[in-house]
Amino acid sequence: MSGQTLKTGHAGPLPVPATPPSERIELKVYRALTWAALPVAPVILRLRERRGKEDPRRRAERMGRSSLLRPGGQLAWIHAASVGETSAVLPLMLELLQVRPRLELLLTTGTVTSAQFAAGRLPPRSRHQYVPLDSPPLVARFLDHWRPDLAVFTEQEMWPNLIVEPARRGIPLALVNARMSDASFARWQQRAGLAEALFSRFSVVLAQNDALAQRFMRLGAGRTFAVGNLKIDAPAPPIDGTAYAALRAALGDRPRLLAASTHAGEEEIIAEAHLQIAAHLPGLMTIIAPRHPDRGSAVAAAISDRGLTVERRSTGALPGPTTEVYVADTIGELGTLYASTPVAFIGGSLVPHGGQNPIEAVRHGTAVLTGPFTHNFADPFRALTDAGGARVVTNADGLADAVAALLADPDALAQMQAGATRALSSLAGALERTVAALLPLLADPSEVRGRAV
């Protein structure tokens, strides 16, 4: 069975299964356990709050309660796990609002950083809530309040109760920008009954490529299409003009490298590369933006242990004349950082995490370096490297050599940036195809029953 490619002219309804599939024993056990665990949910949330993983002011939302009123008319609920997924669906939200002028949107996420990221970027007629914990009564409480006309999940978010409860109410379900790692696919195959019971409930699955589409079909998904990666069509992350001017003034004409979205185990490699590059390019400034800003203190300590002078952006400090490494442990500033640096190493790729998003760097004209582990963004990285728009490095020596060569050769840097732009242009179109697939799932506004609060 091969995946289908969705054409932009696709029309016609994408039906919700009239009768949900019979629940497999795995799903029944999971639902029973999440019912039984309900009394300890507040305890779990309090423990997470102490670690900064939850917002205590909005704990009620994680229990399915909301202080916001549901707006009248059609409401589409879009769920994105964290910052990366939120960034991918924001352009989708804007496009849906443009083609449906009366549509209202609800965005849910599960992390504090994603809530902070979304706060300043939500389009009109949109609001944010934390997703409820995946327990049947909490999800039911959430759905009773919001009564969405469509539920859209992003990438690989597969919480069973969040899927089962809307499907039981006849709410169409879609999975967009869908992806699945080799390890996740193997785990789902070991739980084939549970996989079929969940994936078959989706009215449509929109995968990033044909190979992924076939995986979802093998796990029980029905209408599955390969439409591309929404992150390709996302605009460049925004630049804060004031912050950009201040940072550029502080950096002056020093040679610069950005290590973006780094993970544990990579900062030490970057520090070693910095020492090698600085031996040939005095005054080098390396900016490290950890994927998880709450690691800022640990990252700074690891860099200091290498004998390098460090400043942290979260303290309000700008890099001084003697600062060698600047740890940008803040949220939502990658656009400003990319615009300030000619070369960026994209993290999560020197350790077996699978790589982070290289597209944002390309949109700002920043040359891309990556480690060998890029399976989270396999298609973009393959296109970039084939077009000469990205280079793969495997260790500190390789990173140092690549950075030094690019900073010393403006023509090579410009050629690399041009190749990257061409590569992404060849992959564009996922946003248009995704909207074309979702619109048939939203009933004509004239048919929507009253939703007055």
The single-letter code of the amino acid at 387 is A
Instruction: Calculate the alpha carbon distances from 284 to 253, 274, 305, 370 in Å.
Output: 10, 8, 18, 20
Q: Is 360 considered catalytic here?
A: no
CA distance 115 to 86: 9
CA distance 103 to 87: 20
Phi and psi based region of residue 429 (left: phi greater than 0; alpha: psi -120 to 50; beta: remaining)? left
In terms of Cα–Cα distance, which of 396, 385, 389, 452 is closest to 418?
389
Strands 75-79 and 150-154: parallel
Burial class of residue 218 (count of CB atoms within 10 Å of its CB; 0-12, 13-18, 19+)? middle
Q: How many CB atoms lie within 10 A of CB 144?
A: 11
CA distance 334 to 113: 14
Strands 343-346 and 256-262: parallel
Strands 325-327 and 75-79: unpaired
Catalytic residue selected from 54, 61, 85, 165? 85
- CB neighbour list of residue 229: distance below 8 Å, 6 or more residues apart: 177, 208, 209, 377, 379, 380, 427, 430
Tokens 């973009």 — which residue?
380
H-type alpha helices, 40-124: 41-50, 59-62, 83-99, 112-119
CA distance 273 to 229: 32
Active site residues per annotation: 85
